């Protein structure tokens, strides 16, 4: 069997490292780019370079952004008194698509999972606590009054929500959870706008 050209092999290996991309899919993508117009490959390379060079994590909410702070945190028309806590940046996009939430966000970058060795200290929970405490020294409009926990409705998401609730409720904050319009065991990013809108409006206090 004739060995693959090294550049092709390297690209297949790179694609294989991406989540959800198996060896066959990686090979198809590599051969597509090999046969496609060179502009497609060059645009992809430029987009990847720009992704690494021009994106940052917001210093306030830890969402992906192209400036500090991000556009949502910097928007004075948003309700700064309510923070929606989500697991991943994609969850922010899912909720924003509904147009039903006008507060701000905090991205944990994961969920508590003892099986995978992920504990509270591995998430952005400490940063959330500092953010809430800092808000108490700000003006009345900036004081955080409610945490809306929008972690995924699965075992890890529920454990994360419960941990945060127990940590913040003694501080006098209102802690709410998305309503059960979301399917148990599902991921927030795959929920449709109608389901998320209903879950937002029907959130419950924990």
pTM of the entire structure? 0.79
Question: How does residue 194 score in pLDDT terms, banded at 50, 70 and 90?
Answer: confident
CA–CA distance, 104 with 83 (Å, rounded to integer): 5
| Average of per-residue pLDDT across 65-83 | 95
CA–CA distance, 63 with 149 (Å, rounded to integer): 16
Domains of the chain plus CATH, in order, are 6-54 (1.10.8.420), 64-205 (3.40.1360.10)
Within 10 angstroms of residue 73's Cβ, the number of other Cβ atoms is 18
- Return the pLDDT at 2: 56
Residue 64 has pLDDT above 80, yes or no: yes
Q: What angle do CA 114, 131, 161 make, to 5 degrees?
A: 35
Query: What are the Cα distances from residue 125, in Å, to 68, 108, 143?
Result: 20, 7, 18
CB 151 within 8 A of CB 160: yes
- pLDDT averaged over the chain? 90
């Amino acid at each position: 069997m004739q060995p693959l050209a090294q550049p092709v092999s390297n690209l297949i290996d790179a694609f294989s490292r991406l989540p959800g991309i198996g060896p066959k899919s990686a090979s198809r993508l590599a051969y597509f780019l090999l046969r496609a117009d060179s502009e497609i490959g060059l645009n992809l390379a430029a987009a990847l370079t720009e992704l690494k060079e021009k994106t940052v994590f917001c210093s306030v909410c830890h969402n992906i952004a192209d400036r500090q702070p991000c556009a949502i945190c910097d928007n004075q028309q948003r309700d700064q008194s309510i923070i929606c806590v989500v697991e991943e940046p994609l969850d922010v996009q899912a909720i924003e698509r509904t147009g039903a939430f006008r507060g701000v966000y905090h991205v944990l970058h994961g969920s508590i999972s003892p099986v995978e060795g992920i504990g509270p200290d591995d998430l952005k929970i400490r940063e959330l606590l500092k953010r809430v405490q800092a808000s108490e020294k700000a003006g009345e409009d900036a004081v955080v009054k409610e945490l809306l926990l929008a972690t995924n409705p699965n075992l890890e998401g529920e454990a994360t929500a419960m941990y945060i609730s127990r940590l913040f409720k003694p501080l006098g904050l209102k802690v709410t959870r998305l309503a059960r319009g979301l399917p148990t065991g599902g991921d927030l990013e795959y929920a449709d706008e109608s389901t998320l809108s209903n879950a937002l409006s029907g959130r419950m206090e924990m």
